[in-house]
Amino acid sequence: MVQGSQELERNYGKKITEEEDDLSEVQQDSVPPEVRAWLASTFTRQNSACSRKVGFEKPKFRSVANAIRAGIFVERIYRRMSSSSLAQFPPDVTKILKQVDDWSFDVFQFNEAAGGSPIRYLGVDLLNRYGLNTKFKIQQNAADAFFAQMESGYNKHKNLYHNSIHATDVTQTMHYMISQTELS
């Protein structure tokens, strides 16, 4: 086990240290009570039955921190793999999607870059950002078909206001509100 964690640290340590410290992003409320209790009993001086057992050794803080970092690193790799559909997006769409967290997101420029299919690109991007595609096991082709149907439904009647651009604008605005208020 020690050799495995040393190998993991050696192989991934450089990549992990190059990443920003994700542990600082963890909100206190997002840590389950069981994990808090374990951390408290493991890293504080509490008299517990476990610590009095012969041969019992508490794990070192560094090894636990490295395990947490490795978990974060693996999760990032998984999310990148699950969001591989972004690699299929046109470069202009990908560039504009980097601004999706901004209030000043230009939905008209996005529509132009998306070739008149803004719902599809924004929908797929937001499914990936919120992890809904993995949580609910949504197949990529099913999501594409859904967003294509939605797009055609909005554009079917050539309504000048309630169209796919308006739907994209509302969706992005809701994303902005959710992300800024941490409702996600």
Selection from 8, 130, 2 nearest residue 71 by Cα: 8
Which residues 6+ apart lie within 8 Å of 23 measured at CB?
A: 65, 68, 69, 72
SS3 (DSSP) at 57: coil
- Yes or no: say if 9 and 66 are a contact pair by the CB < 8 Å rule: yes
Distance CA 57, CA 166 (A): 60
Active site amino acids: 162
The structure tokens listed for 121 are 């690109």
- What is the 3-class SS of 98-166, one letter each residue? CCCCCCCCCHHHHHHHCCCCHHHHHHHHHHHHCCHHHHCCCCHHHHHHHHHHHHHHHHCCCCCCCCHHH
Q: What is the DSSP letter of 182?
A: T
